[in-house]
A = this chain, B = another copy of it.
Amino acid sequence: VSQPNLALYSLVGIPLIQPGDNLAQLILDSLRAADLPLAEGDVLVITSKIVSKAEGRRLDLRTITPSPRAVEIAQKTDKDPRLIEVALGEAAGISRMNKGVFITRHKLGFVSANAGIDHSNVGPDGEEWVLLLPVDPDGTAVKIRAELQRATGVAPGIVITDTHGRPHRLGNIGVAVGAAGIPALLDLRGRPDLFGRKLQYTDIGLADEIAAAADLLSGQANEGLPVTLVRGLHLSPADGHASDLIRPANIDLYG
């Protein structure tokens, strides 16, 4: 029987993450328990949600007092003014708003709803938790990669993911908000095509494609499978980051 060209493994046994948890160590423990030693070329895909939790990026909305501007935007968007207040603190600017919609450019550069804030948890004592994006997901990807290399001798590619809605298309998909050790934006221009002619391709959003692939496993798992091992990509190691995928405002015709 044929072997797959690309294999994705959901890492099992990653516990619910608490502030201060060492994600690299938890990943190593899971790989060891699954008898899946890291191999050259492996890419580990980690949801931003557990990175944020490990960083303690949780806020209780009950502690937030919305500014007059947040109250005004909340009225226009039918949203919680405290959520808007937190989102404004995370945002570099507002991209679009409408009833039920508040799309911002995050300080990290990503254009997405509510500055990437996850607003799904209510605690047992009435807490109203929201989770902000990691502080520096590209930097965290570099650190996790280095920790895994120290422990195993193998430096995997790292992709930290979120899910975003999109202009023109329905449905959220996995995207890269952090990356290390891979060509996040892969330049195929100049490579020969089947007939030896130069391809006229533009770049490939490789880290986003990896994020979307992993979300096929992690996105439907109700947060229970936040880390995915992707094996078989045969990428050259590269110093690429998710920030490479942010379209500069001067070439974004939908700014």
Copies in the complex: 2
Closest to A203 in B: B171
Closest to A105 in B: B168
Closest to A9 in B: B4
Chain A interface residue bracket vs B: 35 or more
- Tell me if B171 and A245 are in contact (CB < 8 A): yes
Q: With an 8 A cutoff between CB atoms, is A52 at the interface?
A: no
With beta carbons under 8 angstroms apart, the residue of B212, B223, B233 that contacts A209 is: B212
Q: With an 8 A cutoff between CB atoms, is A135 at the interface?
A: no
Most buried by B among A168, A170, A203, A231: A168
Distance, CA A194 to CA B223, complexed state (A): 7
Chain B residues with CB below 8 A from A216, complex form: 6, 206, 209-210, 213, 233
- Nearest 7 A/B pairs, CB to CB: A171-B205, A213-B213, A167-B254, A4-B7, A212-B212, A6-B8, A96-B253
